[in-house]
């Protein structure tokens, strides 16, 4: 079985049918991360670059935190129940969440240093983008595919609903 979070079953898009909440989150984060990545590739004055970076971080931070919390509260416990307490996928993903949070704080802090440490900001942003991309890819395999191939359709529906409800609470 495939597809609570996006693949299709029997010609119907499960994403459309069930709201596709996790992958929607990932896509929204990807847009912000893409903007963060692009900032260092386009020519811009330092002042404009600083403003763009501040704006991206301000939008990305709550989006990302809400997403990490929803995964920790809803999806990780479901995975743990399925795999047992000894499964190392969960500590691995949790540890990545902590690294993502640490990176976000570090990057935000760098923006307020004087003089602005552009080289460090550039390197730190690149590492942050790489970490986020790696994390979302890992989640596709370690989290979403495992849940999708082991849980019943009704259980998946319940998880998707909790995720969606939680998204509304945060918004």
| Closest listed residue to residue 145, CA positions, set 7, 47, 51 | 7
State in angstroms the smallest separation of the CB of 170 from Fe ion: 14
State in angstroms the smallest separation of the CB of 96 from Fe ion: 7
Q: Which is nearer to Fe ion, 52 or 89 (CB)?
A: 89
State in angstroms the smallest separation of the CB of 11 from Fe ion: 27
State in angstroms the smallest separation of the CB of 70 from Fe ion: 9
SS3 string, the chain, reads CCCCCCCEECCEEHHHHHCCHHHHHHHHHHHHHHHHHHHCCCCCCHHHHHHHHHHHHHHHHHHHHHHHHHHHHHHHHHHHHHHCCCCCHHHHHHHHHHHHHHHHHHHHHHCCCCCCCHHHHHHHHHHHHHHHHHHHHHHHHHHHHHHHHHCCHHHHHHHHHHHHHHHHHHC
**Residues 6 or more apart whose Cβ sits within 8 Å of residue 49:** 39, 40, 118
Q: Which is nearer to Fe ion, 44 or 166 (CB)?
A: 166
Positions that interact with Fe ion (CB under 5 A): 71, 139
Q: Which is nearer to Fe ion, 75 or 121 (CB)?
A: 75
Q: Which is nearer to Fe ion, 94 or 158 (CB)?
A: 94
Q: Which is nearer to Fe ion, 22 or 57 (CB)?
A: 22
State in angstroms the smallest separation of the CB of 67 from Fe ion: 6
């Amino acid at each position: 079985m495939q597809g609570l979070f996006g693949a299709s079953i029997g010609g119907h898009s499960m994403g459309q049918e069930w709201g596709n909440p996790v992958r929607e989150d990932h896509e929204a984060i990807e847009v912000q991360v893409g903007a963060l990545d692009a900032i260092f590739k386009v020519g811009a004055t330092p002042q404009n670059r600083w403003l763009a970076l501040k704006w991206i971080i301000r939008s990305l931070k709550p989006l990302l935190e809400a997403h990490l919390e929803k995964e920790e509260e809803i999806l990780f416990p479901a995975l743990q129940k399925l795999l047992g307490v000894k499964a190392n996928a969960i500590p691995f993903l949790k540890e990545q969440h902590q690294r993502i949070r640490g990176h976000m704080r570090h990057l935000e802090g760098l923006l307020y240093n004087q003089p602005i440490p552009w080289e460090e900001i550039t390197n730190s942003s690149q590492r942050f983008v790489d970490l986020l991309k790696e994390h979302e890819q890992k989640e596709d395999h370690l989290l979403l595919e495992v849940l999708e191939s082991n849980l019943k359709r009704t259980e998946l529906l319940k998880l998707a609903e909790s995720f969606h409800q939680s998204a509304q609470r945060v918004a």
